[in-house]
A = this chain, B = another copy of it.
Amino acid sequence: MTQEWTVEKTGFDTADIELHGSKYLLGNGFMGYRGTMEEYTAEQLVALNLAGFFDLARGSNWRESVNAPNPLYTAVSVNGKELNLSRIAPVFHKQTLDIKTGIHKRETVFPAGEVNITVKAERFVSKARENILALKYSVSADKNVDIVIKTGTDKNIWNISGNHLNYTDETARGDFSELTAESVQLKKPLKVYEKICGLENIVNVGLLHTASVALKANEEFTFTKFGGVYHGDGLENSDADFLRAVNFGYDNLKDEHIAAWDAIWENSDVVIEGDEEACAALRYSIYHLCSIAPRNTDKCGIPARGLSGQVYKGAAFWDTEMFMLPFFRFTDADVARNLLKYRINTLAGAERKAKEFGFEGAFFAWESQETGDDACTLFNVTDVFTNRPLRTYFKDKQIHVSADIVFALWDYCITTGDFVLLADGGLKLIYECIRFFYTYASFKPHKDRYELLDVVGPDEYHERVNNNAFTNAMVKRAADIFILALEKVKTDYPESLENLGENLDWAYDFAKKLYVPAPDERGIIEQFDGYFNLEDVTPETLKTRELKENEYWGCHGLASQTRTLKQADVIMLLSVLKSDYGREIKKANWDFYEPYTEHGSSLSACAYAIVAAEIGYTDWAYKYFMKTACVDLKGDSKQYLGSLYIGGTHPAANGGAWNTAIFGFAGVSFANDRLDISPRLPENWKSMSFKLNLRGERLEIRVDAKGAEIKGAAKTKITVYGKEYKK
C-alpha cells in the first residue's frame, strides 16, 4: 500500500471516500486540499480548508475554520451521464500521493456504455506559492466519443456546521472565473480565482465552464487549470499574483513546487534501513507535518486535525507545543518560531480567558483560533442516552496548556539558541502564564505548599481531579523556566523587563513550594490524588459494560470512577520531562499504567513508545510507534466522541512518530548544552539517518545498534550513551 515515497491504492470502495479525503491530503500551510476526486462535491467531503481563517457558520454559534469554494472542480459527462467515481463502479481506479513532491494523481477508467473512458488527473497545492493550486486533467477513450467537460469553481463544498460565506460577486469570462465572498459574521473577504488552459468553445453558467470535446479513440485530451485562493494580506495584489502564476505555466509551477519540497526533505527526511514499512510511515508522518506548517505567518497555529477539514473547529490545541514543535525546532526553526509567535500574538486572548474564570495572567485557550480566545465550549460531548449536551471541563480545567506552551517556548530557545524570542514577547508570555498558575493555585499553609486543585490532566476521562501529576510537574517546570528566562533576559535584554511586575518574590516562592507528586514506594506516581482508590478495571472490561455505541467514557461515564484512562498522562510526563525520572521509575509506571490505558486519543501511543524505547521494551516501543506513525494511513483512529465527529488527519501523532524515532529509538536528548545520543533501535532496523539543526549547526546523524556517527557538529558537545563522542 505504501512504498518508500508513495501512498497508493488500486481499486475503489465507496467506504474509503472519507478516509482517503484525509489520507491523500495536499497542503502548504496556507490551505489543505482533501484527497477527493475532481468530480466530487460536498457529499464526498470536498474541502479546501483555510488555515487561520475562522468565522461562524450561518445561523450557528459554532465558530470553525472556513472551507473555500473548490476552484479545481472538474467532471466529465458522456451522453448526459456524469462520470462520478462515487456513483459509478470503475473498470479501473488508482489513487496516488507522492509525498516526496506533494503531488496527487488519480487514474480512473469509467465504463460508459460501449466505451471505456479514462480520466487522469494530477494536481498539487504549491509549496512555493501559498495561494496557488494547479491541476492537469486528461481524458481518453477506447472508442470515438463525444464528452462534455464541466469545470470551474464549485461552491458546493463540505461544511460541518453550515455555510460560512456570503458571495458578493461571481464573474466568469471565457476560461477565467473569479469569486468574491465574505465570511458570515466578521465579513472577512475571500477571493477565489480559477483559470483554464487548453479548453475551447466554453459556455459559462455561473462559475462553471462547459465545453464539448469529441474524443478520438485512444487519443488523450488534456487541459490544465489553476486556482488561486486569497484572504487577509494576500488580497492586496491577488489579481497580479494569480496572473503571474498562470503565466508561469503548469510545468514551471510544478518544478518550483517540487524544488520547494526537496528543500524541506533535505532537512527533514529520516531514512530507516531495514524496515521499509516503518520508513514509509515515518516519512508519511513528516509529509503531513510539513504540509500544514505555517511557514509564512505567525498568525495561526496548527489545527488538531491539520488542514483536513473543520473538525475540532480548525483550532490549535496543546498538540502543537507538545507533539509537533520538537520536530520543527530541530528541522525548521522558522516554523517553530512562527508557531510560538502565534501564541505570543494571542496572549491577549489568554489573558481574557484567565480573567473570565476569575484569575490573573494568561490561561491559554484549549481550542485556539485567530484571537486566542477559547473556541472550546463548556459542553463538548452529547450524551448518547439523552441527546443532551454534557458539561465537560476541557476548557476551564485543563490548565496544563499554559505550562505546555512555556515548556515548548523554552525548549525552542534552548535548541535553537534564539533567546531573542524571550525579549520578543516570550518572557512576557511566560510571566503571564506563571501569574495565572499562581492565582489558580491553592496555598496550603499547614503543608507549606501550593497545590493545583480541580484540574483536568491529559487523561480527560478523569475530570476535576486534584494534583494531577502531569499538570503539577509541568507547571513546576514552567515556574522554574520563568526564573531561568528572567535571569537570561536580565542579563541579555534588560530593556524587555519593563512589562513585568515590580516584586517577583511570589514567583520564586511558587516555584519553590509547588507540590509535585512523587513516586510511591513501588516507584509509581499516582496520576492524581485518590486515583489508586478507583475501581481497578481495564478498558477491556469497560467495553463489556457499554450499553450503547459511542458512549462517552468521560464525564460521569464508564471510565470516570475507574482506573481506566483515555490516554498517556503519567507516561506523558515521563516522556516529556525525561531527565527528571530514572529508568526504574519509568519502568514501574509503564508497567502499571499500560494495562489501564485505552489509547482513546492519538496522542497516547507515542508517549508509551518513547518511554518503552528508553526502558528497553523495544517490541512495545515498535508496536506503539507503528500505531502512531500509521494512524492516518490506516485510519483506524476513533471517529466519534459521543456523537461528535472527530475524524481527519492527526498531526500530533505525526509529530509523535518523529519524536519516537528521534527521542525514543535514536535516544536523542539535549540538556545542559550537551547532545546525547543513545540509540535503542528495533532489531530489524539496520540504521536510521536523520538531520538535526542545533543552534545553527546542521548535524547529519546516523545511528545503528552500535552507536552513532555525527557529521557537522563543530561546536556542539556530543555524547553517545553518555560518553564523549570523538568527532
CB < 8 Å neighbour of A446 from B383, B438, B555? B438
User: Which of A386, A451, A555, A560 has the most chain B CB within a 10 Å cutoff?
Assistant: A386
Q: In residues 547-603 of chain A, which contact B (Cβ within 8 Å)?
A: 547, 555-556, 560-561
Any B CB within 8 A of the CB of A358:
yes
Given A453-B453, A453-B454, A454-B454, A556 and B442 contact (CB-CB distance below 8 Å): no
Q: Are A556 and B445 in contact (CB under 8 A)?
A: no
Q: In residues 402-450 of chain A, which contact B (Cβ within 8 Å)?
A: 438-439, 442-446
Q: In residues 195-214 of chain A, which contact B (Cβ within 8 Å)?
A: none
Given A385-B385, A454-B453, A506 and B443 contact (CB-CB distance below 8 Å): no
Q: In residues 531-559 of chain A, which contact B (Cβ within 8 Å)?
A: 547, 555-556
Any B CB within 8 A of the CB of A391:
yes
CB < 8 Å neighbour of A443 from B391, B442, B529? B442
Given A386-B385, A556-B556, A561-B391, A442 and B453 contact (CB-CB distance below 8 Å): yes
Q: How many residues of A contact B (CB 8 A)?
A: 27
Any B CB within 8 A of the CB of A360:
yes
Least CB separation from A440: chain B residue? B444
User: Which of A358, A379, A445, A561 has the most chain B CB within a 10 Å cutoff?
Assistant: A445
Q: How far is the CA of A454 from the CA of B451 in the complex (A)?
A: 14
Any B CB within 8 A of the CB of A148:
no
Q: How far is the CA of A187 from the CA of B386 in the complex (A)?
A: 46
Q: In residues 380-403 of chain A, which contact B (Cβ within 8 Å)?
A: 383, 385-386, 390-391
Q: How far is the CA of A360 from the CA of B506 in the complex (A)?
A: 27
Which B residues are in CB contact (< 8 Å) with A439?
444, 446
Task: Kindly supply a per-residue 1/0 record for chain A positions 346-380, scoring 1 wherever the CB is within 8 Å of any chain B CB and 0 otherwise.
Answer: 00000000000010100000000000000000110
Which B residues are in CB contact (< 8 Å) with A360?
446
Which B residues are in CB contact (< 8 Å) with A561?
378-379, 391
Which B residues are in CB contact (< 8 Å) with A93?
none
CB < 8 Å neighbour of A358 from B386, B443, B529? B529
Which B residues are in CB contact (< 8 Å) with A391?
556, 560-561
Q: How far is the CA of A15 from the CA of B707 in the complex (A)?
A: 85
Which B residues are in CB contact (< 8 Å) with A438?
445-446
Q: How far is the CA of A677 from the CA of B463 in the complex (A)?
A: 50
Q: How far is the CA of A570 from the CA of B391 in the complex (A)?
A: 24
Q: In residues 455-495 of chain A, which contact B (Cβ within 8 Å)?
A: 464
Q: Are A445 and B445 in contact (CB under 8 A)?
A: no
* Closest CB in chain B relative to A169 CB, distance in Å: 42
Q: Are A390 and B556 in contact (CB under 8 A)?
A: yes
Which B residues are in CB contact (< 8 Å) with A453?
442, 453-454
Q: How far is the CA of A252 from the CA of B299 in the complex (A)?
A: 94
User: Which of A378, A383, A439, A556 has the most chain B CB within a 10 Å cutoff?
Assistant: A556
* Closest CB in chain B relative to A431 CB, distance in Å: 14
Which B residues are in CB contact (< 8 Å) with A390?
556
Q: Are A547 and B386 in contact (CB under 8 A)?
A: yes
Least CB separation from A391: chain B residue? B561
Q: How far is the CA of A442 from the CA of B529 in the complex (A)?
A: 16
Q: How far is the CA of A385 from the CA of B385 in the complex (A)?
A: 7
Q: Are A445 and B560 in contact (CB under 8 A)?
A: no
Which B residues are in CB contact (< 8 Å) with A560?
391
Q: Are A506 and B547 in contact (CB under 8 A)?
A: no
Which B residues are in CB contact (< 8 Å) with A386?
385, 547
Q: Are A444 and B444 in contact (CB under 8 A)?
A: no
Q: How far is the CA of A446 from the CA of B529 in the complex (A)?
A: 25
Q: How far is the CA of A491 from the CA of B57 in the complex (A)?
A: 72
Task: Kindly supply a per-residue 1/0 record for chain A positions 241-258, scoring 1 wherever the CB is within 8 Å of any chain B CB and 0 otherwise.
Answer: 000000000000000000
CB < 8 Å neighbour of A506 from B378, B445, B451? B445
Least CB separation from A356: chain B residue? B533
User: Which of A358, A446, A560 has the most chain B CB within a 10 Å cutoff?
Assistant: A446
Which B residues are in CB contact (< 8 Å) with A451?
442
Which B residues are in CB contact (< 8 Å) with A445?
438, 443, 506
Which B residues are in CB contact (< 8 Å) with A464?
454, 464
Q: How far is the CA of A560 from the CA of B378 in the complex (A)?
A: 13
Q: How far is the CA of A358 from the CA of B385 in the complex (A)?
A: 35
Q: How far is the CA of A439 from the CA of B390 in the complex (A)?
A: 32
Instruction: Give 15 A-B contacts (CB < 8 Å), ordered by A residue.
Output: A378-B561, A383-B556, A385-B386, A386-B547, A391-B556, A391-B561, A438-B445, A439-B444, A442-B444, A443-B444, A445-B506, A446-B506, A453-B453, A453-B454, A454-B464
Closest 4 CB pairs of A and B: A442-B442, A385-B385, A443-B443, A556-B556
